[in-house]
Structure 1
């Protein structure tokens, strides 16, 4: 595919990402758990056979179609709906257990490019097979869907001791001491445990208390094999899971620049961070202190970007902490401000904090304050820049000045 076509597709993806964010002219409300998603029927109809069927039979209330999606977590749906709108997946935005939960709902939603999405499903299970603690040790493991759990248990390369798998499966299925109920709950999981690969001591301590759910034949065969290892038994003996070096699989990253201010080269310039999600756009959300704190407070790790009127300057800064309205400065050694290279400015400048005790200012009467050197102080599009050698190591511009800005964006970021 030519570079021009690739850029065009990226822009289309970016446009649809903004449509998803702004919810402009939405006509569908999808209820997932306790959260509502305001969406667009044309996108859903074209991209998902599940939604196409739902939309064809749904009735409108006040020109809005309501669809309830069950057996899907909110976090998983956030990832999937972004895929529907943009064709991209951001694993960084999903909790580890939500990546696991993608396996079932992704099939249910019936994506038009389903063959490509199977690659995603394989990627998910590859990660989780090699890093099973992401799921098995998560706080919400008990809410993992059965079909997704079975998919993982079938893996020969699941990198976890069989006795721990048994412990976790009992934890997942156990709601009381009723063995009949537990047997019913675990009916599809029980055959996938590799009992003959569990040490005899763990069989006696961990499996024996629940041996009734295995059935008499399987339990007898397990005991027989422990006592006489070379004897033949009628139960299927699954092979030991393969122990392999743990290494994350490689995937091609499809990068979509979500900014209307900075280009792909600028993203590369800010080499210590990766933009993950845009939280605020001044021209959309307003250039007010209230809008900034409402949308950006308590979001860890953010980049602020501004485009200065008439000068073609792009100025910004990085806050590794969170914004709030506590009325004080916070210390950090990791914040910095920057000026990005543009047509009229030959070089980019990255200036790190020196006065670390006053790196990040958080006040209700102000927008973001970066070391007192770069901040917004009212509800107009006026930003103040004032350099001090005791605050930042490098000067971004030749003079201290109040700057009129054309645009203001805030992104959450993830460190490399």
Structure 2
């Protein structure tokens, strides 16, 4: 009688789903590298609000993932397809075999070619190769895992005439080689 009873009991409480549903974060944020607190810190740096840092829920803008290098095989062409002419961008990089995160902020946009309108088509008219862009609002930064207890650091540009570099055969370039990303950067 016991096996029959247990079968009857389990039949009536059989779960409707085999797997637990994925939890939804209170801070919807599509990054495998930084968390919402890091994003709020970067936003604070962007708006130069160190005296009153943002909280994630108070951000005046939305972070949107437009390129994930690990999914695109670290392709420079895919970077430019995804990021050129999109306006201000934050680049976030996890350093291989370390807990360090580095990155930069470009208040302009990225470009690899200049496009001209020719009727109904947009045609490339000029390929950028180490074109220096002027801005005083860009910066680079470094974050360490919070388990290390390190203080995040950022550095505003010192020479605004060459703050951002546009180049068709490189990814994001900050300064004259302060932080440059090239093809196969995942292995260097």
If the TM-score is normalised by the length of the shorter chain, which range does it land in?
Answer: 0.5 to 0.7
Aligned twin of 1:362:
166
Deviation, structure 1 residue 345: 5.6
Deviation of the 1:275 alpha carbon: 4.0
Q: Which structure is richer in relative contact order (CA contacts within 8 A, separation 6 or more)?
A: 2
Instruction: Give yes or no for the alignment of 1:8 onto 2:23.
Output: yes
2:100 to 296, 305, 313: 313
Cα distance in 2 for residues equivalent to 1:368 and 1:345: 29
TM-score, normalised relative to structure 1:
0.31
Cα 1:361–1:298 shift into 2, 3 Å: same
Q: 1:9 to 1:294 in 2, by over 3 A?
A: same
Cα distance, 1:367 vs. partner?
A: 0.8
Q: What are the superposed Cα offsets for residues 282-309 of structure 1, whole Å, 9 maximum, x if unpaired?
A: 1212201111111100010000000011
Flag the structure with larger Rg: 1
Cα–Cα, structure 1 residues 345 and 374, in superposed 2: closer, same or farther, change >3 Å? farther
Cα separation, 2, equivalents of 1:292 and 1:345:
33
Deviations for 1:79-126, whole angstroms, at most 9, x for unmatched residues?
Answer: xxxxxxxxxxxxxxxxxxxxxxxxxxxxxxxxxxxxxxxxxxxxxxxx
Q: Cα offset for 1:310?
A: 1.4
Query: Could you say which residue in structure 1 is the equivalent of 2:52?
Result: none
The match for 1:413 is none
Is 1:338 aligned to residue 141 of structure 2? yes
The structure 1 segments of at least 4 consecutive aligned residues displaced by more than 4 Å after TM superposition are none
**Do the aligned residues in 2 keep the contact of 1:359 with 1:370 (CA within 8 Å)?**
yes
Q: How does 1:269-308 map to 2 (within 5 A)?
A: 269-270=41-42, 271-273=44-46, 274-308=61-95
The Cα of 1:264 is off from its aligned counterpart by 1.6
| Structure 2 alignment gaps of length 5 or more | 1-21, 47-60, 113-127
How many Å apart are 1:269 and its aligned residue?
1.6
Query: Is 2:146 aligned against 1:374?
Result: no
Does residue 259 of the first structure (1) align with residue 64 of the second (2)? Answer: no
Report SS of the residue matched to 2:63: strand
Higher helix share: 1
Q: Which runs of 5+ in 1 are unaligned?
A: 1-6, 11-253, 383-403, 405-416
SS of equivalent to 1:279 = coil
> Please, which of 153, 169, 185 is the counterpart of residue 349 of structure 1?
153
- 1:136-147 aligned at under 5 Å gives the runs none
Separation in 2, partners of 1:346, 1:315: 14
Alignment deviations for residues 38-91 of structure 1 (CA, whole Å, 9 cap, x no partner)? xxxxxxxxxxxxxxxxxxxxxxxxxxxxxxxxxxxxxxxxxxxxxxxxxxxxxx
User: Quick one: structure 1 residues 318 and 356, their matched pair in 2 at CA, closer, same or farther if it must change by over 3 Å?
Assistant: same
Give TM-score, length-normalised by structure 2: 0.66
